Amino acid sequence: MDSRGSRRGRRRWKPVSSHPIETTATSSQPKNIFYCTFSGCNRFFSQQYEWVRHEESVHYPQKKWICCQTLEIPENVRQNIVMKGGAPAPWPQNFDACLKQPEDHRTFYRKDHLVQHIQQVHLGKKSLIPTDLLQLWADDACEPLAGDPILRCGFCGDDLPSWTARRHHVAAHFKKGLDMSAWWPSRKRIPFVPDSAVCLFSSGRFTCPLCNKEYSDCESAALEHHHCAAWSCRFLVNFESTFTGTESARCKLCSAQIKANPFSLDGQWHAMRLHCEYHRLRDCDQDIYSNFEDFTAHMCTHRQVELEQAKEELFDDWCTRLRWSTNKQQ
């Protein structure tokens, strides 16, 4: 009876109901910027509270209701449990069917589902069920444990400590303009690359987040290692970044052209997504390469492409860079 779906994401570009071009705001219609992050659901919302309410009521409820969670029912509540025809319901005889069942077999994640269960199994369709009884059988749903896939951000790969933290974190990404074309449930964490102003105020050893070289302190790192670049498939924001051009999008990996369809606003967008699935852009270990040649070898092996004398600028969307400057260098 658990109404929650699977929490595991699939290594695919998650489709949304339409390309963001179709949800652009007008003067009278707010822009839909919050998208359901659960696989198979294409709902989107203009307000954050609507998005939160949807995910928490449909996919990840914060409450659960357990039929016969307790048999100690106050007298005033029992008197208000009325069967079809107005007769008081015998207690607890009419609930024998659930008393013998394991708790997970009589647990519901929506209050109206518990009401339907009581009416269909115990008391009859026209029975009256007091709100006090539903509140008595309500309980907080379990908080996901650390490491649960539900707590991973599909935009940046961060593992969040709680559902509340996840909610605020993902909302911040949406507010910055990301949509579900950038959501990858199994995306590995994108390393934080500090700038020199932040790092030079810290003390202790410094390890480059891109190549793992170690230095005695941040000042030494800024002087000796003020530039570093790394490439990884986890850095690619979304499949649109794989193309150049608009009217006729050209794939950076194989030069295939995806032309705009004048009869469909999002036909080209979906064709681009399918083309990227051919290249299996989300089917690898997401390793980080500090050597460009190693990265291009990975792309040739896993992406069904041939790259001869590839230029680094072609893969800027797969690249993250560390660039520092200090007064001593200037």
For the stretch 187-201, pLDDT in tens is 999 998 876 555 655
pLDDT recorded at residue 262: 61
pLDDT in tens, 283-301: 999 999 999 999 999 998 8
Q: Report whether pLDDT(76) > 70.
A: yes
pTM here is: 0.72
Nearby residues of 43 by Cβ (< 8 Å), 6 or more positions away: 17, 35, 36, 54
Q: Report whether pLDDT(260) > 60.
A: yes
Q: Edge to edge, what strands does the sheet with 257-259 contain? A: 243-244, 248-251, 257-259
Strand spans (E) along 143-231: 206-207, 214-215, 227-231
pLDDT band at 123 (very low <50, low <70, confident <90, very high): confident
pLDDT recorded at residue 238: 92
pLDDT band at 202 (very low <50, low <70, confident <90, very high): low
> Which amino acid, residue 185?
P
